[in-house]
Amino acid sequence: MSRNATPSSFGWDFQINAAIVLMLENIKTIKSVRVEGKKEDIELFLESKKNIYAQAKSVMRIDDYRNVRSNLKAGLETLNDDAACDDYHKLIYVTNSPNPFNVENSMSAFYGHSRLSYNDLPQSCKEIIDKEIENKPLIHIDKSELEIHVIPFFTDDFQQRYRVIKDSVDKFLFELNNNTRGMADELLEIWQHEFFQNCTQGDLDLVIKKKDLMWSIIVLQSQLHPEHTFLGDYDDGAVEEIIRSYRYLINNRCEKFEFISQVLFDFQEFRSDEKGNKKVAEFIATKCDDYKDVFELNEIRDEVQDIVVKIILQKIITNRFLANDIVKKVNL
């Protein structure tokens, strides 16, 4: 027996990245995600209290069809178990094989990144599913809620392996806000790390909340650089400490979008004779102390607390259009 763990690691990699794609495809309706959950490889929890269950199976070589039929059979059996509970909205079998049924004349239906409902499958593929359901029998599967997804995911060249995943993130960001273009690589890396951590957590009740995933976009858009206007009067040592403290606070602030909403509401209600940046500066100078209580400033040096909170308020107001777009377009 081979002790090489590469196939298992590849399988985990595919499962994590397939979860990101499925999450983005259902971003408006989901509330949270679990990778390697209580029931399935990928579990999407919807606002409607229903769930999408996805069984992920991968092969390492694009032309290796030896096990795709047995993978499909095992996947359908697990999805049947999921369907026994009346809490599902959709059942998905997701694989990277371009020939998931090992039927060569059906391969054109699965070209590229494909998503097919049972009804849209080639007749030869429907018959294979029908036979598996009848033989077992898999009595709980409602074929009208069953989908077969294929996500191209091959090679040791990571640019090529993650190409479809990155394209999905790029498309999502393009539709979200003009200012988020160009951050797909960084955002994908953050999400891959979060999804990997989630699938290794033994407490299966731990999920990734949609609003925490979306917060990563705000963090990336709000990165603080030494050239920031507020840092011009500080020496290099102080600037480094301010940037470190800023990152700590913006990454650990709880109830993140709720805090943004409160700041933007206060800014909208703030009465001033000034306009534009002068109004922003007056608001920050006037209100800074009011917000200090909501941060865990005990981890921050006293001499930099004031400037860090001011920068956070300035970043929130500067990125208010992005924050509003996120809230509206992903249904937060």
Give one DSSP letter per residue of 145-206, joined into a string: GEEEEE----SS-HHHHTHHHHHHHHHHHHHH-GGGTT-HHHHHHHHHHHHHHHHT-S-TT-
Average pLDDT value over all residues in the chain = 92
Mean pLDDT of 225-239: 90
Distance separating alpha carbons of residues 45 and 56, to the nearest angstrom: 17
How confident is the model at residue 179, as a pLDDT? 81
Distance separating alpha carbons of residues 171 and 89, to the nearest angstrom: 25
The pTM for the full model equals 0.90
Could you state, in order of their start, the residue ranges of all structural domains in the chain? 5-179, 225-330
Considering only 153-162, 173-182, 317-326, which range has the smallest mean pLDDT?
A: 173-182
Establish whether the linkage from the previous residue to 137 is cis, with ω within 30° of 0: yes
Strands 51-57, 30-35: pairing kind: unpaired
Tokens of 92: 């998905």
Give yes or no for residue 43 having a pLDDT over 70.
yes
Give yes or no for residue 251 having a pLDDT over 80.
no
Distance separating alpha carbons of residues 229 and 236, to the nearest angstrom: 14
